[in-house]
Amino acid sequence: MRDDRPQADRDESAARRFFAGVTEQAFMTELGVADPPLIDYVTELLTRFIASDDIYSVRGVRGERLTQVADMLAEAEARRGPARRRLHRHIGDFTLFWTGVFPDVADRLRHAGGKDALLNYRELGKLSYAAASRIRVDRETAPSELLERLSDEFELCVYGLGEVRKAWEEADGGPLLV
């Protein structure tokens, strides 16, 4: 059967399948975390952030791309309702991704002399997921209960993402580069 989807869609689908497998292996088998919605969320997070520019999708009021958590936090505080929830969720995702998959890069991001130098990404990730979970919206892809679990289990998820990275490196035959 021929696949008529564009190459980018096929690549994203292959990445999603790969991440689903290694994430499920790391979380369920190695960590004993039997939480399919959480595992699915982490899989989607990896797929979005690795396969696209979504990691830096937050823009300020003038349209500039926000790359520092301090700026994202300021933007979140200036917003209300669903927009505020999305921004807090993104901050949680951003800090979880960097501290779990690329902790060395997270340290460089924080120590690059910018506004993030004094921030604790792990604490901000927990707080941001918790804040997002408390903002009620009509429809959302991530239920409040899931965001609350991400806040409560942030450290476990960081560790699990480290295990995902190890499996990824082994499958790829070498270290990941960013």
Q: What is the pTM of this model?
A: 0.87
Amino acid making up residue 100: G
Beta bridge partners of 140: none
3-state DSSP call for residue 65? Answer: strand
Q: So where are the chain's domains? A: 7-172
Give pLDDT, residue 132: 96
For residues 68-92, average pLDDT: 93
3-state DSSP call for residue 174? Answer: coil
Helix axes 103-110, 81-101, angle to 10 degrees: 120
Let me know if 62 is exposed, middle or buried by CB neighbors in 10 A (0-12, 13-18, 19+): exposed
Amino acid making up residue 148: E
Give pLDDT, residue 54: 80
The rounded distance, in Å, linking the Cα atoms of 132 and 71 is: 17
- Is residue 157 predicted with pLDDT exceeding 90? yes
**Which residue from 141, 176, 160, 121 is spatially nearest to 27, judged by alpha carbons?**
160
Structure tokens at 11: 């690549």
Give pLDDT, residue 178: 45
Instruction: Tell me which long-range contacts 120-123 makes (C-beta under 8 A, separation of at least 24).
Output: 121/69, 121/95, 122/95, 122/154, 122/155, 122/158
- Render pLDDT for 95-134 as a digit per residue (tens, 0 to 9): 999 999 999 988 887 777 678 888 899 999 999 999 999 9
